[in-house]
Structure 1
Amino acid sequence: MRNYQPKKKNPYQLPHNVYMQCLYAVRDYDRLKEEMRDILHSSPGAPDGMPRGSGISDSTVNKAIRREALQQRCDAIEQALAAIPAEYRKGVMAITMDETCPMDASPETYRRWRRRFLYEVAQQKCML
C-alpha cells in the first residue's frame, strides 16, 4: 500500500515528515516490545568500572533508562490505538504494518481509521 495522506477532506492531515515518523514508529512496535522483553530477561552484567558491592552498576541503570524510553514509545502507540473503536483495532494495525486488510469492513474504513490513529500517535508523541 502506498504511504500518502489524502489532501482533501482529511481532518487528520499531518506534515509529511511527522506522518512518516509516526508510520515507522508503529511499524517498529513489535521490535520495541521484543527489545523490552529482552532487556527485562537479560542479566545485569558486570559493573562498569565500579567496585563490587558498591550498589547498582551503570549497566543496570542504562538498561532501566533504555527500557523506560522504549516503554514510553510503546505507551504512546497503545494510547493512540485505544482511541480507535475495538472492532477496527486489529485491522488498523494490520493495514499500518502493510499486512493484508481484514475483509469485515471496507478498506476505505480502515484507511480512515488509520489516518486518525497516526494523528493520535503524533499527538501522544508531542509531534504536533
Structure 2
Amino acid sequence: MPEQGQAGISAVQVKRIKLAVGCICERCRRMFRLPLLEIHYIREHCRLGGRRTENVEENLIVLCSACHQKVHATSHAERELAALRSARPASVRGAIRTILSQQSRTIHPPADIDLAEVFREALEVGGIDLFLNGA
C-alpha cells in the first residue's frame, strides 16, 4: 500500500487522486475526509505494455481504512477491486492517469529574495491562498 510520499507516488499525487474520486471509498462508496482514505494496489505488481509498474491507474484504488483492512483479509479481493476500478467513470480514470503522469519538482527560490517580505505582501493583497492552497 503506498503511503504519502512513498512507492513513487508523491504526497501531492496521493491527495489529488483522493480528490479525483470525490473523497469516497471506492468499495463502500461512503465519503471520508482525505486523511481517512488510503490508496491500495490492486496487484502488488502490474504488467502494462511489457513493463512492470505499480503506479498506474489500473492498479490503484482508493479505500477507507476499514475496507482496506477487509481487502487484506480477503483472498478474492483482487477480482472485486478490479471490477470496482473498472466501473470508474472515464473522467476519473483520465484524471488519475494525468495525476500519475505529472512529475514532482523541487522549487528553489533565488537567494536574494526575502521570503518574509513576499509573504507579507501576499497577505496584504489577499494572495495567501497561493501559499496555503497552491491556487
**TM over 0.5, yes or no?**
no
Which TM bucket (shorter chain)? Answer: under 0.3
Structure with bigger helix share is 1
Structure with bigger strand share is 2
TM-score w.r.t. structure 1 length?
Answer: 0.27
TM-score w.r.t. structure 2 length?
Answer: 0.26
